[in-house]
Amino acid sequence: MLRSKKITIMLLLALSSLMTFADDTTVYENTSQQTTESIAGQDKLSNSLKETDLEIKIRQKIEKQIQEQNSVAQESSQVQTKTNYSDLHIALMYIPNRLIDLTDIITIGAGVGPEASLELTLTKWGQFGASYGDRYFIEKGFNRQYGGGYSGGYNAAFACWSYEEQVVDYCFGTVNPYVNLNLKNSSIPCPCSEPYKSGNVDFWRIGVQGGWLVDVEVAIHPTAIANFFTGFAFIRLTDTSDL
């Protein structure tokens, strides 16, 4: 009887162990299946998030368009700022520029050196007189030339005929150096030639110059008079620009 009970107990323990093993196996299988499904889901999600070549190109194109729009907006802002500054600058300098145009109407100068001169100029097509020698000069000249320098050469003129060779150099201030060589020895000056074309010398000036060792010159400039009036409408007739 006792032996029969022991066998029964052993059978029950064996059956219980078998059931526990079966449950553990089921749990492991379920866990493995869930893990496999989770990995598969993650792979599917990862694949869905990957960009195709077409999507990459579209994204790059959109980014480029955004950058271009930002660049255009920035440039437009800079241009607007510059325009506002320019408008303010023009408004503030309007009266000073008109006064500077007014001073361009008259040339006043003086020089010293071994030179003799006596000239009456009614434009370059109406000259009478002559000059010869070298001089160092200071002047308030044409086309906003303020300063001085060295001048040397000669000139003989009667009406529209002129025989001239002149060099202006070693200048300071805003005076421009130039060379005026009469290669034909005698000719009729042309406003289309240098130094008239560049505005260093006024072809249309009306004035006088005279002296010996010490000389003075005074002239008015009809083109500067016209430029003064047209300057109110920002129209330039001379080779100058507003400050």
Query: What are the pLDDT digits (tens) for 37-49?
Result: 666 555 555 555 5
Instruction: Kindly state whether residue 55 falls inside one of the protein's structural domains.
Output: no
Whole-number pLDDT of residue 162 = 87
Pairing of strands 161-173, 178-181: antiparallel
Higher pLDDT, 207 or 28: 207
Query: What are the pLDDT digits (tens) for 140-178?
Result: 999 899 999 999 999 999 998 888 889 999 999 999 999
Average pLDDT, the chain: 79
Q: If pLDDT is split at 50, 70 and 90, which confidence band does 19 have? A: low
Q: Do 132 and 229 belong to one domain?
A: yes
Whole-number pLDDT of residue 28 = 47
Domain that holds residue 27: 1-41
| 161: three-class secondary structure by DSSP | strand
- Report in angstroms the alpha-carbon separations of 138 from 45, 135, 165: 87, 10, 20
Q: Do 136 and 219 belong to one domain?
A: yes
Output phi, psi for 121, to 5 deg. Answer: -120, 120
Instruction: Kindly state whether residue 90 falls inside one of the protein's structural domains.
Output: no
Cα 173 from Cα 118, distance rounded (Å): 26
Instruction: Kindly state whether residue 3 falls inside one of the protein's structural domains.
Output: yes
Task: Give me the DSSP letters along 120-149.
Answer: EEESTTSEEEEEEEEEEEEEE-SSS-EEEE
Is pTM beyond 0.85? Reply is no
Over residues 25-39, the mean pLDDT reads 56
Query: What are the pLDDT digits (tens) for 203-231?
Result: 999 999 999 999 999 999 999 999 999 98
Q: Do 124 and 209 belong to one domain?
A: yes
Q: Do 112 and 205 belong to one domain?
A: yes
Q: Do 26 and 119 belong to one domain?
A: no
Number of domains in the chain: 2
Looking at residue 203, the DSSP 8-state letter turns out to be T
Query: What are the pLDDT digits (tens) for 175-204?
Result: 999 988 765 555 888 888 888 888 889 999
Question: Is 21 a residue whose pLDDT tops 50?
Answer: no
Instruction: Kindly state whether residue 85 falls inside one of the protein's structural domains.
Output: no
Whole-number pLDDT of residue 22 = 47
Instruction: Kindly state whether residue 129 falls inside one of the protein's structural domains.
Output: yes
Instruction: Kindly state whether residue 134 falls inside one of the protein's structural domains.
Output: yes
Instruction: Kindly state whether residue 162 falls inside one of the protein's structural domains.
Output: yes
Q: Do 125 and 26 belong to one domain?
A: no
18-22, 106-110, 127-131 — which is least confidently predicted?
18-22
Instruction: Kindly state whether residue 31 falls inside one of the protein's structural domains.
Output: yes
State percent of the chain over pLDDT 70. 69
**Structure-token match 């959109």, residue found:** 62
Q: Do 229 and 110 belong to one domain?
A: yes
